[in-house]
């Protein structure tokens, strides 16, 4: 049996990781990435082979045992398109970089001909720290977002996502820690109208979460509710880290309190979700 067909079976032997606070426990499955998933990237990072899964992520992999080889292929193809778009942009100063990226990065689909599983990736956007790519897994009703680190600074100095990772640059987000810190915020600072991303999985160099659409929350709601709430949470996190000596909060800050209105989306039920909730210092 191919090792990817065996991948789902490892869930019976993985270690359950518990991040314990005073009121609740969050459970994750800690395992390893397949050895030949972006192997040249995994080799660059000390914790590059680790993978942290939520219950939703485990379910996705059980339903799609060829997910990682299909993801590898689709990522490789769209990475080439992004690299070409960066090269084109360098010679065109009158058009926006986002326009060029959307034009030059058509969706890329990989299909397993035997099982008919498929993965489609399309360009979604670029933030200050991450590329965001839209992920559609064949047979899944929900769309997802995969985040990969981007070069900081001017567009003309950008690397494509995989080129950056293959270069072994170390100042990239720790996506696994961001995922766990976000879920800790939702657990410890529960607010009926605020949610963190619905994560599936994360490693040291990528994360996958539920796609929350494009409907931004009202500006007045951001200014009057989300900013004060973020400032309050930041103060309480500082107390937990410095006074209570809670190591899971070291270096964690809510990343939405200054000029980050576009970090929020409104769900169909009227609640808000912060799609870019934390920074790890």
pLDDT at residue number 55: 94
Q: Are residues 134 and 266 in the same domain?
A: no
Block residue for tokens 């985040």: 147
Q: Which residue has the higher pLDDT, 123 or 11?
A: 123
Per-residue pLDDT at 95: 66
The answer to whether residues 104 and 31 belong to one domain is: yes
pLDDT at 8 over 50: no
Which one is predicted more confidently, 168 or 212? 212
Q: What is the number of structural domains in the chain?
A: 2
Question: Long-range contact list for 194-197, CB < 8 A, 24+ apart?
Answer: 194/226, 194/229, 194/271, 194/272, 194/273, 194/274, 195/267, 195/271, 195/272, 195/273, 195/274, 196/273, 196/274, 196/277, 197/273, 197/274, 197/275, 197/277
The larger pLDDT score, comparing residue 169 to residue 222, is at: 222
- Read off the pLDDT of residues 206-237 as tens digits, 9 standing for 90 and up: 999 999 999 999 999 999 999 999 999 999 99
> Do 151 and 260 sit in the same domain of this protein?
no
Q: Let me know whether 112 and 159 are in one domain.
A: yes
Segment 34-47, tens digit of pLDDT: 988 998 898 888 76
Quote the CA–CA distance of 264 and 33 in Å, as a whole number.
30
Do 20 and 155 reside in the same domain of the chain? Answer: yes
* The pLDDT value given to residue 156: 55
Question: Is the CB of residue 243 less than 8 Å from the CB of residue 175?
Answer: no
Q: Is position 174 within any domain?
A: yes
The mean pLDDT of 138-163, rounded to a whole number, is: 83
From residue 195, give the alpha-carbon distance in Å to each of 92, 117, 182, 271. 40, 31, 9, 8
101-141 confidence digits (pLDDT tens)? 888 899 999 999 999 999 999 999 988 889 999 999 998 98
**2 lies in a domain?**
no
Longest Cα separation, the chain:
56
Is 54 inside any structural domain? yes
Same domain, 91 and 180: yes
Do both 189 and 275 map to the same domain? no
% of the chain surpassing 90 pLDDT:
57
Q: What is the domain range of residue 269?
A: 219-280
Phi-psi region of 92 (alpha: psi -120 to 50; beta: other; left: phi over 0): beta
> 61 and 199: one domain?
yes
Q: Which residues pair with 209 in a beta bridge?
A: 145, 199
Q: Could you write out the DSSP letters of every residue in 107-143?
A: -EEEE-TTT--EEEEEEEEE-SSEEEEEEEETT-SS-
Residue 44 resides in a domain:
yes
Whether the CB-CB separation of 202 and 176 falls below 8 Å is answered with yes
Is 1 part of any domain? no
Same domain assignment for residues 30 and 155: yes
Looking at the structure, tell me whether residues 154 and 226 fall in a common domain: no
Position 74 in a domain: yes
Structural domain contains residue 84: yes
Beta pairing partners, 17: 28
Q: Is there a domain that residue 137 lies in?
A: yes
Residues 244 and 124 in one domain: no
Same domain (yes/no): 148, 276: no
* Among 210, 245, 264, residue at a domain's last position: 210
Distant-in-sequence, close-in-space partners of 78: CB < 8 Å, separation ≥ 6? 105, 108, 121, 122, 123, 133
């Amino acid at each position: 049996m191919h090792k990817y067909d065996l991948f789902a079976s490892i869930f019976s032997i993985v270690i359950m990781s518990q991040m314990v606070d005073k009121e609740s426990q969050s459970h994750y499955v800690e395992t390893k990435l397949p050895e030949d998933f972006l192997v040249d990237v995994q080799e660059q990072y000390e914790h590059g082979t680790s993978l942290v899964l939520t219950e939703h992520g485990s379910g996705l992999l059980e339903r799609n045992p060829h997910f990682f080889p299909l993801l590898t292929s689709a990522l490789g193809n769209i990475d080439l398109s992004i690299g070409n778009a960066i090269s084109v942009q360098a010679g065109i100063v009158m058009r926006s970089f986002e326009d060029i990226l959307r034009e030059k990065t058509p969706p890329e689909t990989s299909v397993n001909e035997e099982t008919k599983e498929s993965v489609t990736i399309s360009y979604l956007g670029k933030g200050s720290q991450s590329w965001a790519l839209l992920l559609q897994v064949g047979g899944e009703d929900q769309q997802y977002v995969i985040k990969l680190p981007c070069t900081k600074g001017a567009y003309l100095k950008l690397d494509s996502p995989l080129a950056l990772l293959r270069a072994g640059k170390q100042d990239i987000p720790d996506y696994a820690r961001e995922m766990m810190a976000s879920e800790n915020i939702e657990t410890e600072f529960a607010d009926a109208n605020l949610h963190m991303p619905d994560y599936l999985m994360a490693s040291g160099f990528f994360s996958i979460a539920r796609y929350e659409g494009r409907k931004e929350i009202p500006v007045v709601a951001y200014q009057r509710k989300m900013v004060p709430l973020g400032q309050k949470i930041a103060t309480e996190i500082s107390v937990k880290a410095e006074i209570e000596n809670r190591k899971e909060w070291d270096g964690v800050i809510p990343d939405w309190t200054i000029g980050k209105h576009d970090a929020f989306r409104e769900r169909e039920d009227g609640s808000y979700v912060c799609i870019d909730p934390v920074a790890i210092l």
